Amino acid sequence: MLPRTLLPLTLLLLPLVGSLASPDEPAEPEPVAVLDLARLEKGLPREWELRTSEGDVDVLTARDQAREGRSWVCVEGAQDERVLSLLCDGASFSLNRDVSDLDLDAHCMLEWEWKADALPAEADMREPRRNDQALQVLVQLDTSAKRVISYVWDTTAPVGTTGSESYAMGLYKVKVLCVQSGTEGLGDWHKLRRDLRADYKALYGSDDFPGVIGVRIQSNAQHTRSVASGAVRSLVFRPAGAPAAR
């Protein structure tokens, strides 16, 4: 039997001991990084594919290999500071990844870091003939209607501007949201964080968030026939309620 003087302390510790001994509680889902710049295949991040809609695009191992009048993508920098840099010269291209094999059911927060260095001249997402952006991050949703959310850094349209687009003969329906605009912060890194569930409801009018099956990093300058450039260095899906990374 414990001495009487130790009984109050023992009783105080019992709740703590009980809370530590609960291995059956589900663990918080881990963030899922989908842009691994440390592992390359043919010059691109593994599991990412280059698709060109217009123009000529080169995959470089160093940007001094760039040829005049041609667009390019290049993973560059020290091993722990690599970035995906791109230049779009009157072209339209994207890097795409299928994420349907990943368990993202609990991950409705999307976080990424990008930096725009040059914006397409006089571009404006509200005008089809000037609808170019240096940087876009697109999310393909797991719906039979092939719905897409596109987050853009626009040259002219104010932050918060929305629009609708389609591609592949109208097969894909795209809701566009301007999350950064103009030259303010040009050349600096910016971390953005979006609640996909909330944006889906706001843009598509549905509470039934379908999940994600694909992501895309895109650059367009074909309408304005100008030059745009920038870089991306992270793209992470996080569970709802998870704190933002510093």
Q: What is the pLDDT of residue 101?
A: 93
pLDDT at 76: 96
User: 207: buried, middle or exposed (CB in 10 Å: 19+, 13-18, 0-12)?
Assistant: exposed
pLDDT of residue 19: 46
The tens-digit pLDDT sequence of the chain (246 residues) is 444 444 454 444 444 444 444 556 666 789 999 999 999 999 999 999 999 999 999 999 999 999 999 999 999 998 889 999 999 999 999 999 999 999 998 899 999 999 999 999 999 999 999 999 999 999 999 888 889 999 999 999 999 999 999 887 778 899 999 999 999 999 999 999 999 999 999 999 999 999 999 999 999 999 999 999 999 999 999 998 766 666
Domains of the chain, by residue range, sit at 91-238
pLDDT of residue 23: 54
Q: Where are the beta strands (DSSP E) in the chain?
A: 32-33, 40-41, 44-45, 49-54, 57-60, 71-76, 83-89, 92-98, 109-118, 135-141, 147-154, 162-167, 172-181, 190-195, 212-220, 227-238
What's the length of the chain? 246
Q: How many CA atoms lie within 13 A of 216 on its CB side?
A: 21
Alpha-carbon gap, residue 166 to 162, rounded angstroms = 14
Structure tokens at 21: 């001994």
Question: Is beta strand 57-60 parallel, antiparallel or unpaired with respect to 71-76?
Answer: parallel
How high is the pLDDT of residue 128?
95
Rounded Cα gap, residues 241 and 243, in angstroms:
6
Residue-level pLDDT at 231: 98
Count Cβ atoms within 10 A of the Cβ of residue 150 and give its class: 0-12 exposed, 13-18 middle, 19 or more buried.
buried
Neighbours of 75 (CB within 10 A): 20
Is 91-238 assigned to CATH 2.60.120? yes
Beta bridge partners of residue 184, listed in sequence order: none
| DSSP string over 160-195 | T-EEEEEETTTTEEEEEEEEEESSTTTTS-EEEEEE
Whole-number pLDDT of residue 2? 43
